[in-house]
Structure 1
Amino acid sequence: MARILVLYYSSYGHIETMAMAVADGARQAGATADVKRVPELVPDAVASKSGYKLDQQAPVAMVSELADYDAIIIGTPTRFGTMSSQMKNFLDQTGGLWFEDKLVGKVGSVFTSTGSQHGGQETTIQSTQTVLFHLGMMIVGLPYSFKGQIRMDEITGCSPYGASTLADDGNGGDRQPSENELEGARFQGRHVAEVAMALALGRQVRVAE
């Protein structure tokens, strides 16, 4: 059974909601899935004044834990077309794992959110994938077998690079992940889990031979 870590950062809860859907998808495929978040860098007083969602139940992850998983699925909101500083700060601490090749051959995947349709969803995912490549991970996206990403009857996130959601309703108000976006997240979780389990089985066969 593959072990999946859904590692996320979420200021207002949109990525938190997507992370839970990703984990559900991984479990549907028969994997175990833990959901953990990276530490907040914003002072509590500032975060509270800014309306951050501070009651998130997921435990805070430790960098050393990453090596214990077969796959890591990262969720981060977009900050000017790239990952959040909180996620970047966490990943910048993986130098020791990189030096010891602890993450080489593990599966990596990314999902995101933006405040608008053209807010940098694809660049955020791709720039995060760059870090995973440097760590030696094998990147998995959201294939077009998830047909929800090509629908034209509604505004929706998701791309072949990974699941995504739009966090603004277009009038400055809050928009929660749609069912189509959540299904994209679940699909990505299942897909990553299936790939991780297939790789694990292949390694077992080679060892047995």
Structure 2
Amino acid sequence: MTKIAIVYHSGYGHTAKVAEHVFKGAADTGADVTLYKAEDLASPDTGPWDELATADAIIFGSPTYMGSASAPMKQFMDASSKSWFADAWKDKIAAGFTNSGALAGDKSSTLAQFATLAGQHGMIWVNFGMKPGFNASAHEFEGALNRAGHATGLATQALTDLSAEDGPDAADLKTAELFGKRVAEVTERWVRGKA
């Protein structure tokens, strides 16, 4: 059974909701999935770093604030330098997701930060692999999967005047589950191939 860690930060609960749906999609494949809060990994000397070292994949998640990952997520990223020195994450699968109030919202910048972090650690980055669901006049916005059209990772939207109870909407949460499923399936193939 593959082990997948999801490390995320959520400022208002929206990104936590996305993380839970990524978790569901990955767990539905039979993977052993665990959610970790970035705040619990703010220091390289405290927190479940050993658990991340034993995972087959790490999925990074954060809201996009002012065009980049949130400060607590960035603190986790910086604290991962101790794992970098030890090559603790080398050849693990990596992927990322982000959420913001705007449909685009410079989320690509956050996904690029995660991909760069994975590259620094020698990890294998998994893209989303899903075509945009809202790119033609015949498509409807409501219910469209991957409607923001991000390929590097998962990007969802939670309108800023809605609580985490009301956003992201069902289509984005379904997209999150499909993303979790994809990462889990790629991880399983990777682990099987290494064996």
TM range (shorter): 0.7 to 0.9
Q: CA deviation at 1:65?
A: 2.6
Structure 2 SS opposite 1:110: strand
**What residue number does 2:194 align with?**
203
Hey, what's the Cα distance between the residues in 2 that align with 1:63 and 1:91?
Answer: 12
Hey, what's the Cα distance between the residues in 2 that align with 1:149 and 1:30?
Answer: 30
Is structure 2 residue 124 aligned with structure 1 residue 117?
no
Hey, what's the Cα distance between the residues in 2 that align with 1:110 and 1:102?
Answer: 18
**TM-score (structure 1 length as normaliser):** 0.79
Is structure 2 residue 80 aligned with structure 1 residue 94?
yes
Hey, what's the Cα distance between the residues in 2 that align with 1:17 and 1:200?
Answer: 28
Hey, what's the Cα distance between the residues in 1 that align with 2:172 and 2:154?
Answer: 7
Equivalent pair of 2:159/2:168 in contact (CA under 8 Å): no
**What residue number does 2:118 align with?**
132
Hey, what's the Cα distance between the residues in 1 that align with 2:94 and 2:152?
Answer: 12
Structure 1 SS opposite 2:111: helix
Which residue of 47, 51, 60 maps to 1:65? 51
Alpha-carbon RMSD across the aligned residues, in angstroms, is: 2.3
The number of residues matched between the two structures is 183
Q: What are the residue-to-residue correspondences of 1:66-85 with 2, within 5 Å?
A: 66-85=52-71
Hey, what's the Cα distance between the residues in 2 that align with 1:161 and 1:186?
Answer: 16
Is structure 2 residue 95 aligned with structure 1 residue 104?
no
Give % identity.
30
Is structure 2 residue 177 aligned with structure 1 residue 194?
no
Cα 1:200/1:118, change in 2 over 3 Å: closer
Equivalent pair of 2:158/2:169 in contact (CA under 8 Å): no
Equivalent pair of 2:31/2:184 in contact (CA under 8 Å): yes
Cα 1:141/1:181, change in 2 over 3 Å: same
Hey, what's the Cα distance between the residues in 1 that align with 2:98 and 2:159?
Answer: 14
Q: CA deviation at 1:173?
A: 4.5
**What residue number does 2:140 align with?**
153
How far does the alpha carbon of each residue in 1:152-198 deviate from its partner, in whole angstroms, 9 at most, with x for none?
A: 411644511222221226xx444501222111111111111111111
Structure 1: runs of 5+ lacking an equivalent: 41-59, 205-209
Structure 2: runs of 5+ lacking an equivalent: 41-45
Q: CA deviation at 1:96?
A: 1.8
Hey, what's the Cα distance between the residues in 2 that align with 1:198 and 1:32?
Answer: 15
Which residue of 110, 123, 130 maps to 1:144? 130
Larger Rg: 1
Over 3 Å off, 4+ runs? 147-152, 155-158, 172-175
Q: CA deviation at 1:122?
A: 1.3
How far does the alpha carbon of each residue in 1:89-113 deviate from its partner, in whole angstroms, 9 at most, with x for none?
A: 0111112211111101101000001
Which residue of 149, 153, 156 maps to 1:162? 153
